Structure formats: C-alpha cells, structure tokens
Structure 1
Amino acid sequence: MKEYYDVIIVGARAAGASLAILLGKMEKKVLLIDKASFPSDTLSTHFMSHTGFLDKLGILEQLEHTGLRKVGRMRTYIGSSFVEGPRTSYTIIPKRDKLDHLLIQKAQKFSSVEFMPQTSARELIWEEEEVIGVKLLVNGELQDAYAEMVVGADGKNSNIARWAGAEKYKSTDPIRPVVYGYFEGVAPLTEPVTEIFLHEGRIGFVFPMEPGRDCLGIEVHPEEFKPMMKNPEFTFKQTFNQFYRMEERLKNARLEGKIIGTPGMPNFFRTAYGKGWALIGDAGHSKDPCTGLGINDAFMQSFLLADAILQIDEGSLWTEVMAEFAKQRDRQLLPGFQMTLHYIQSLRKWTDNEVALFQSIAANPMVWNQMLPNFFKHLEEDSLDFPLLHQAVEMEAEHFGFKKES
C-alpha cells in the first residue's frame, strides 16, 4: 500500500521539526523522519540571537521551564580589557537534545504530522524530472513514501541535496576548526553574560546554559586541531586558561561528557529548490559558527518555506512562489554570511598599538558610548541604497545592543 503525504521532511532537528510544526498548523499531512532517536545531541553553536521564533513555534515557555538562564548581556574581551553591553532582547542557550526534542513533541501534537525516528532516506523517487517521493529504510525494510514536496533538512552533507543535484555557490572551504565542551562548576559572573574572547587569533566563547552548566568553545588555528584532539580535555583547558581570568574560573570546573571537535564548517549556499523538492537549514546554507547564527537561520528558512507552501495553496503559481522563496532566502542570509566570512578571515594577533587603542576606549565609557552609536549611524546612512549591506549593519548594531531610532 502506497503512503501519500503533502510534505515529507527528511531531518527532524531545528529546521525540519520547526517546519513540521508550521505545516501541522496548516493541517498538512506531513511525514517527518530522522535517522537518529530522540532526545539526542548534535554538533551545534547552541546560541540563539533572539527568542521570537521559539515563541511563534509555541515552545519558548516550555523550554525556559527546563531551567535555562536568561542571558541579557554580551561581553567581548581583547587581552585584559573588555567591553560589555545589554542586548536588545534576552536569549537562552539550550542543548540540542532539549531543543530538538521539544520541537518534535510540539509537531506530534498535530494529528496530521507523523514522526518516524531511526528511519533513513535511501533515495528519491522520480517521475520523469520531478521528485514524487522517497524510498525509506524502516526496521531494515525498504518502503516507498510519496508526497507533493520532499524537503531536505538533513544537514550540510545532505543526501537529498546530492540526489536532487542541488548545486553549491558562494562556496568557501572550512576556515577554522571548532572545539567545545559542556562544563559544570565554572565560576559565574554576577549575571549571565555571553562572553567572547579574542586572543592570539583564536576565538573563545562562554555560553551560560542552566545554572552550574556552561558551554565553552574555541575556534583554533587550523594547525592546532589535530594536536589538540590527541589529548582534548587537557589541551582545551590549557588553551582556555589563556583567556582573561579563565584559569581562576575553571579551577573547580568539571567536563561533562567529552570534548567535541570538527575541522571546520563549510561555507556555501545550495540551490534552494527544484521540481518536487526544497532544502532548508544547513542542507541549503552553511557557514562558520563563530557568529552563532545557525539555529536562527534554520528557523527563518522554515518560516519562509511554510509561507511559500501557503501561497501555493491559495492559488499562486508554484514556479513564481518558489523562485521568490529562493530569492528571499538568499536576501535574508547573505548579510550574515558575508559578515561571518569577513569576521573569521580577518582574525589575527592584535598589534600592541591596536590593543592599546582598544584598552583606551574600553576604559572610558563616555568615549565608547559616544563613538559607537555614531559609527553605526553613519554606516546606515551610507548603506541605504544597498539593502543587503544595510541589513548587515542593522544586524551588527543589534549585536552591540543599539536600537535603531524610530
């Protein structure tokens, strides 16, 4: 017996599960599959620049009740100096086993959504040049499932993208290895603060999660990755202790689990759709995690695609709607992509003069408060005729906690 669905979503983490929720609200018949069982963790930046998507998806309150700290400030260190400011909104920093599992549970509350864990997509089913379904491996047996659209939300190494022939563009190879771990007992600051350390061309991160647990991460130089992973816990702590006051704060800290590392994330866009298929999340767009935009980008793509499907239901032409979906996806993601590449490629050891300048600014709040808002104001004025640049400037201004004047 053939199974027919409106949409089959391959990959049930942030992108795929959030799309299932949105389509469930539209009463679409959805099959959501993933090769993993849940709850389970995955490689992630964890950081969410705002909570608006979580609220719209209906899981914010439940996620907050798991004990996550609300983080309302951001601090950047260079050497022994730092600047700190409030964010325009608070964020929470969940582990992916909690976030993804809550999203899946929310999707399953809709009777039209079916979830199948530990289920793999094996190949696409084609009718001439159009995708009409997926061959699934379920409990060791192959099954055919058919749909009007197959969505690949299966990560940067997406099988759906490969089988569909989705081409990469604006591609840049991985630039920086990323190493991170969860630590208990890190001496906390007075209030939860996202901390960024720029030191000797490396980037360190402290992400406050629940009270008593923090995610610590480092983007290291490429040549440091293999030696670090030979004795990861020791070399990770040794490197992190070089950041301002972290040796003191890590004295009583304990690693939870193991250090996780990757040689780096590829940076690319992929063709967003074709006849009968579409890509969202890292399957469609991937970039270095240093700017922490990945989860929010995944949600944004889910909302865009759900809106496109709604427009098609209301009678708009499929070709026009999907072309606009791809255009809007790139328009929304390109500023962050460009900013991320520029940021990571420009990292280097600061000169003594640059450190001295930063210290003089950081030590005088009046100078900082007067200079930076004017800096963004002039950038905004200069970029009004360039929408993508204008968005990037607004994103960076929000990162520093400056609201645009109405």
Structure 2
Amino acid sequence: MTAGYDVVVVGGRVAGAATALHLARRGVRVLVLDRGSAGSDTLSTHALMRAGVLQLHRWGLLDRLVAAGVPPVRSTVFHHVSGDTHISLRPAAGVDALYAPRRTTLDALLVDAAVEAGAEVRHGVRVTGLLRGAGGRVVGVHAEDRAGSAFDVPARITVGADGVRSTVAQQVAAPTDRQGSAAAGVLYTYLADLPAEGYEWFYGHRASAGFIPTEDGLTCAFAATGAPRFRGLPGRGADRFAQLLAEAAPAAAARVAGGQQVEGLRGFGGVPGRLRRAGGPGWALVGDAGYYKDPLSTHGMSDALRDAELLALALTGALDGAVPEAAALAAFQQQRDRLSTSLFEVTEQVAGHTLEEERLRHLLRELSAAMSDEIEALLALDRRPTAVA
C-alpha cells in the first residue's frame, strides 16, 4: 500500500468494488479493504434485475459475466393460487436477458475490473475503527490484517460498503432516516436437475418461494415466510424448508423433491429494512450499509450497482472541488431515496407475508413500475458529460 488515498472503501463486494471501479476510472486514488477472502461466497439471492444488468452493460462488463458461463434468463413466471402470469423480457437499452451469477463470480469480476482501473484492493483486512481529524471529521480508518498487524489508512473520504451491520455506519452513528418493520426469514439451497422457466416466484398462504437459474446448470431454490413466524417454525432446517415450499406451492415442493440437492441449506432470519443517512463529514455509505431492504425483492445487488455509480459521481465532484462535499452527499442521498422509496415501501408490505392475493398482485405491478423509473434514471447518466461508457 501507499499513503495518501483520496478514498478508502470498507467492503469489497458488489457495492464496494463497483464504487471503487468508478472512482478509479475517474482518476481517484482509492483503496478497498475487505475482511473476507478473495473470491469467497456470501449469503445472497444473487438475481440481477434489469437495472443491474443494464449497469454491467453500460460499464463494459456484461460480456465477462456471459463468458463466465452465467445463463441468460429471458422470462419470469409469477405463480399465484388463482393462476400463473408469464412475462417475457423485452429487449431494451442493451439488455436482452437477466442473469443470476454466483457471488463468487460477480464479486470477483467487479474487483478485477476495479484493479484494472487502478484501484488497490486488500482482502483479509478488518477495519476496527475510524481516524478522526479536526471537529470529529473522519479522515481514514484503523485496520488489522489476519496476522494481527494493525495499521492506519489516511484518506480524504471513507466509504462504508460493509453491509447491513456496517462498522462504518456504527462508528459514525449514522442516523436512520427511515426504519422498516417487516422482514422475511428465508432458507435456500442449490439443486441440479431442477429446470426453471426463467425466474419463477411462488406465492401461497403465508409463504413464498422462488427458483433462480444460475451457473453450472444449478437452480437456487428458496422458501420464505414472515420473520416472526420463521423463528417459531418446528423441526430442523430441512423440515422447515419442505413445509414452506409446500405452503408456497405444492407444485414447487414436488419439483424440488425431484431435483438433486448439491449444497447445504443456508438461512437468514430476517432484518427489517432501513434507509440510513448517506454521508457526513468525511464519510459516506453505499449498498446495504446505507440502504437495506428485505432480500425477498431480489433487487439488492441491482440497487448496489446503481448507488455505486451515483455515489462515485458525487464524490468525484466533491474531491475535485467542483461541489461542496456536504452538497454532493446530500444530492446523492436525494437521488438514492427518490429511486428507492417505492421499492422500499412495496418490499416492506410483501416481506410480512400477510397479504391477500389481489393486494399482492397490485403491489407487484407497483414494483415493476418503480423498476422502470430506475432504468430511466440510469440511462440519463449517459447524457451527463462525466458519465463512464
């Protein structure tokens, strides 16, 4: 490492790596610190929506994802008790398919692209605290590697991209501007011999499920219910998984039973969504650290890619002196919140698993409309003189 970074990014997964990529492409000296191992897996629904695929296409990275063997998804099926709704993806804005990469693929792809752009990345490093300057301004981080060696990294701006339990957010006591109350508990695994008709979502009584085609001919199968109920379900993980699948759709349960499970079950007990303050003197938050909503939306990675670019644009202006830092961060938060509010509100209602079918269908249509607005906002970035091709 060398001293004197413009930005240190805490967390090197989707949000952090993508933020570093954009900063480095704009000539910013950036260091990424991540506590995990390079190429490691993490809990994730890993389904990209159109906005996420559009971002990779705009950044010149989509071909790498395709070359890695991630299969295209060109349709979505919503399975309701009263009947199914089939939707084919219409090619638009350079996107003719959706993709659901494993995180071992997507995170590594973004890190490699960031390094190629000039960012420095160190894995196996835990951030233990923040450096403070005059008036309490954040001026970098305290860190420790796996050998126990401690060191400091001075930086003009520190970005927390370290997840929903963000150390950076905790250290700066980032205010929560909007707090959700609902959450879903989920179990998921990977199966061979489980063909899926694109993305498939199942909605039953108090339970939902989904099939997400991913790499190596595997399908991610998940089942969920409201978090309070999830915590009280009887039996072990496999019993709970089978029960929730059957409640979501007996047909889904039968298809899973006919597949070959190739990995163990993973679970997440649920955390209510929230929108934290996006930044302050010397610090900013991106990805789940700043804006988290229930993973049932399968929109978290797409949001992270969106906000990474928006934050990088804001920080570049602040670092260049073109815009005061406080104004740049406020503008980023305003745009993030404007694009997030509808998605947040719909997810908040759906995650509780208490809705009747008619209301659920209505909310899913609202979700689709919000995603369309997001696409328009991202395409507008290409008309800005500072946009990255």
- Confirm or deny a common fold (TM above 0.5): yes
**SS at the partner of 1:195?**
strand
Unaligned runs of 5+ in 2: 91-95, 375-389
Q: TM-score, normalised by structure 2?
A: 0.85
1:176 aligns to 2:184 (yes or no):
yes
Larger Rg: 1
1:66 aligns to 2:33 (yes or no):
no
1:370-394 per-residue CA deviation (whole Å, 9 max, x = no partner) reads: xx9xxx8xxxxxxxxxxxx9xx672
The equivalent of 1:141 in structure 2 is 149
| 1:20 positional shift | 1.0
Seen in structure 2, the aligned counterparts of structure 1 residues 98 and 262 have a Cα distance that, compared at 3 Å, is same
1:162-188 per-residue CA deviation (whole Å, 9 max, x = no partner) reads: 1111011221235221111111221x2
Q: TM-score, normalised by structure 1?
A: 0.82
- Pairing of 1:1-400 with structure 2 (within 5 A): 3-50=3-50, 51-79=53-81, 81-88=83-90, 89-110=96-117, 112-128=118-134, 129-138=136-145, 139-186=147-194, 188-189=195-196, 192-210=197-215, 212-222=217-227, 224-226=229-231, 230-241=235-246, 243-312=249-318, 313=320, 315-345=322-352, 347-348=354-355, 394-395=369-370
**SS at the partner of 1:322?**
helix
Kept in 1: contact 2:6–2:29 (CA 8 A): yes
1:228-286 per-residue CA deviation (whole Å, 9 max, x = no partner) reads: 58521243134324525234423442222211111112211111101100000000011
**SS at the partner of 2:241?**
helix
**SS at the partner of 1:156?**
coil
Unaligned runs of 5+ in 1: 359-371, 377-388, 400-406
1:158-217 per-residue CA deviation (whole Å, 9 max, x = no partner) reads: 11011111011221235221111111221x25xx42111111121111111136300111
What is the identity percentage for the equivalent residue pairs of Structure 1 and Structure 2?
28
Kept in 1: contact 2:181–2:348 (CA 8 A): no
**SS at the partner of 2:7?**
strand
The equivalent of 1:366 in structure 2 is none
Seen in structure 2, the aligned counterparts of structure 1 residues 319 and 396 have a Cα distance that, compared at 3 Å, is closer
**SS at the partner of 1:97?**
helix
**SS at the partner of 2:219?**
strand
**SS at the partner of 1:53?**
helix
| 1:289 positional shift | 1.4
Seen in structure 2, the aligned counterparts of structure 1 residues 57 and 396 have a Cα distance that, compared at 3 Å, is closer
| 1:103 positional shift | 0.8
**SS at the partner of 1:91?**
coil
Distance in 1 separating the partners of 2:232 and 2:353: 24
Seen in structure 2, the aligned counterparts of structure 1 residues 87 and 274 have a Cα distance that, compared at 3 Å, is same
Distance in 2 separating the partners of 1:184 and 1:113: 38
Kept in 1: contact 2:14–2:107 (CA 8 A): yes
| 1:326 positional shift | 1.4
1:70-124 per-residue CA deviation (whole Å, 9 max, x = no partner) reads: 11111111236211111234200011111101111111113x3111100011110
Distance in 1 separating the partners of 2:111 and 2:168: 21
Seen in structure 2, the aligned counterparts of structure 1 residues 397 and 127 have a Cα distance that, compared at 3 Å, is closer
Kept in 2: contact 1:174–1:267 (CA 8 A): yes
Kept in 1: contact 2:314–2:332 (CA 8 A): yes
Q: Report which stretch shifted further, 319-328 or 194-203.
A: 319-328
Kept in 1: contact 2:182–2:348 (CA 8 A): no
Distance in 1 separating the partners of 2:160 and 2:6: 14
Distance in 2 separating the partners of 1:9 and 1:114: 10
Distance in 1 separating the partners of 2:324 and 2:240: 56
State the superposition RMSD in angstroms: 2.6
